[in-house]
Amino acid sequence: MKHVIRWKWLLVIALIGIGILLAPAPEGLSEEGKRTLAILFMAAGAFVTDALPVPAVALLIPIFLVAFRINTPDGVAHSMMSDSVLFIMGSLMIAEVLTKHGLDKRIASVILRRVGTSTRKVAFGLVSTCALLSTFMSDHMVAAVMLPVGISIVESAREEKSPLLGKLIMFCIAYGCAIGGMGTPSGGARNAIVIAYLRELYNIQIGYGTWVLAAFPIVLINIPVTTFILTRVFKPEVKELKNALERMRIEGAEMGAIKKEEKMALSVFAVVLGLWITVGTTFGLGMIALFGAVLYLLLGLVEWADYQRGVAWGVVLLYSGAISLGIAMTSTGAAQFIAEKFLSFFEHLGFYSEESFAASTAVLTIMMTQAMSDGAAVAVLGPITLRMAFLSGGGIISVGLTTASSAAFAYLLIIGTPPNAIVSSSGYVFPRDFLKAGVFQIVTSYLILLFFIYGVWGILGL
């Protein structure tokens, strides 16, 4: 049945693409731009409907760019292998090493054992752990690691008969991972995509430290706010979780003292992090990430087979193809065409100032990221929102940060982000639960982002 539905969606998507190709180009849009929009709509349709695996869509993008005579094979290949793609690949490799040596579990165990035994404190500890880990690692990897921890907590409290506890714990994991990814460039591929667009399209360099200064405080504010919302929406009957935390204490003791390999892995990561902050704009974030990945190999902390098995290579392909499409949208004028249409609409609404424009960009991105992956949403919208900022005279960096940050607010649907899908596999949460909690979470996250758009980023000169 699923196979039949997939083919139906593929037919619909193909017909939409053919319709755009056969239609005359609108005034102000070139033929190449029209063909690029056809690829954009077909790719977005495939992302939203899951008609094809995400890596397959990414592979089709460069094929269509060449087939529709938008770019040459060498030109497409050049656009696909940027420093940002290498940054994504290297970051996934580094995260694999940290996971292999159990550092993520050790960190999670330490934090959760220190927060206390009350349900609210455990919820705060889970949100904090997932958010802070996702700041430097891929959110889906953090969610996958923390899921067994969450299930263990729920199972330990089963005798308390609290059906809402499972929902609370699972949403602490999912939403904690979501809010953490915006904190640093290495927290999510969507951040690397924005950095790539800023550099490739407008020759603007945004450093690792600048990003952290602008976005990491948003993560810190969202942690207690998210905990408050979830403990109110899913107010569990059980107030104490002593049994669950005692089990975690025993497991932590079994891990023993930190091993030599763990110290070495942490040391290399600290070196990479320091290089990202100090010389990232000079040598490139991707080059530094690859240096860290190779250094792990040289020190014998990982084997190449571990990278082959553990790295989500499909994610690398996704953003490689998406960035290539974004560059094509700019070079053909397709991004400018869409940007001018949106600008005209916002002008009629009176949203034309830098601050108001960034706020409107956040709304547009939040709407898109509910139905497609956050990275795909940024890849599609990035060239458009940045072009709109450039044409309106607004702050390009501010709009870029807004686009990347608001793409993290994928709270409403399971398909919005991998952590949502991962926690839904636990059996404790259902689609309607995401709608119940997500509405409050979106509103509060948006208001926090507005505070930074109107206040903090202006002070920072962004």
Its sign, for the CA torsion 159, 251, 141, 310, is negative
| DSSP codes joined into one string, 226-252 | HHHHHHHHT--S--B-HHHHHHHHHHH
What SS3 state is found at 118?
strand
* pLDDT tops 80 at residue 71: yes
Cβ–Cβ < 8 Å for 368, 381: yes
Burial class for 74, CB neighbours closer than 10 Å (0-12, 13-18, 19+): exposed
Give CA separation, 291 vs 132, 274, 279, 297, in Å. 23, 13, 13, 10
Domain boundaries, the chain: 2-459
Question: Using 50, 70 and 90 to split pLDDT, how confident is the model at 249?
Answer: low
Burial class for 182, CB neighbours closer than 10 Å (0-12, 13-18, 19+): buried
- The set of long-range contacts for 166-170, using a CB threshold of 8 Å and a minimum separation of 24, is 166/426, 166/428, 166/429, 167/234, 167/428, 167/429, 167/433, 168/119, 168/123, 168/230, 168/231, 168/234, 168/235, 168/236, 169/122, 169/123, 169/126, 169/428, 170/423, 170/424, 170/426, 170/428, 170/429
* pLDDT tops 90 at residue 127: yes
Rounded mean pLDDT of 113-134?
Answer: 86
Give the helix/strand (H/E) hosting 197.
Answer: helix 189-202
Residue 322's pLDDT is 76
* pLDDT tops 60 at residue 352: no
Q: Which of 17-26, 325-334, 345-354 shows the lowest mean pLDDT across its residues?
A: 345-354
Question: Using 50, 70 and 90 to split pLDDT, how confident is the model at 253?
Answer: low
Cβ–Cβ < 8 Å for 154, 203: no
Residue 331's pLDDT is 82
pTM of the model: 0.71
List the structure tokens of 297. Answer: 């190999």
Residue 248's pLDDT is 61
Rounded mean pLDDT of 121-132?
Answer: 90
Q: Which of 22-36, 154-168, 200-214, 432-446 shows the lowest mean pLDDT across its residues?
A: 154-168
Rounded mean pLDDT of 245-256?
Answer: 65
**Between 276 and 450, the higher pLDDT residue:** 450
Residue 429's pLDDT is 85
Q: Which residue stretches of 234-353 are H helix?
A: 242-255, 260-283, 285-298, 304-310, 313-331, 334-349
Output the CA torsion 381→382→385→389 (10° steps): 180
Give CA separation, 247 vs 112, 149, 231, 241, 412, in Å. 12, 10, 23, 10, 33
Mean pLDDT of the chain: 82
Angstrom distance (rounded) from CA 116 to CA 118: 6
Residue 1's pLDDT is 59
Angstrom distance (rounded) from CA 325 to CA 50: 19
Rounded mean pLDDT of 309-321?
Answer: 79
Q: Which of 66-80, 221-235, 334-348, 433-447 shows the lowest mean pLDDT across its residues?
A: 334-348
* pLDDT tops 60 at residue 354: no
Angstrom distance (rounded) from CA 238 to CA 393: 54
Residue 450's pLDDT is 92
User: CB count, 10 Å around CB of 164?
Assistant: 17
**Between 262 and 163, the higher pLDDT residue:** 262
Q: pLDDT tens digits, residue range 98-115?
A: 878 877 667 666 766 677
Angstrom distance (rounded) from CA 56 to CA 168: 35
* pLDDT tops 70 at residue 37: yes
Q: What is the DSSP letter of 69?
A: T
Cβ–Cβ < 8 Å for 157, 238: yes
Q: pLDDT tens digits, residue range 190-236?
A: 888 898 888 888 888 888 889 999 999 999 999 999 999 999 999 88
Residue 190's pLDDT is 85
* pLDDT tops 70 at residue 373: no
Question: Using 50, 70 and 90 to split pLDDT, how confident is the model at 259?
Answer: confident
Give CA separation, 144 vs 51, 134, 342, in Å. 24, 12, 38
Rounded mean pLDDT of 421-445?
Answer: 85
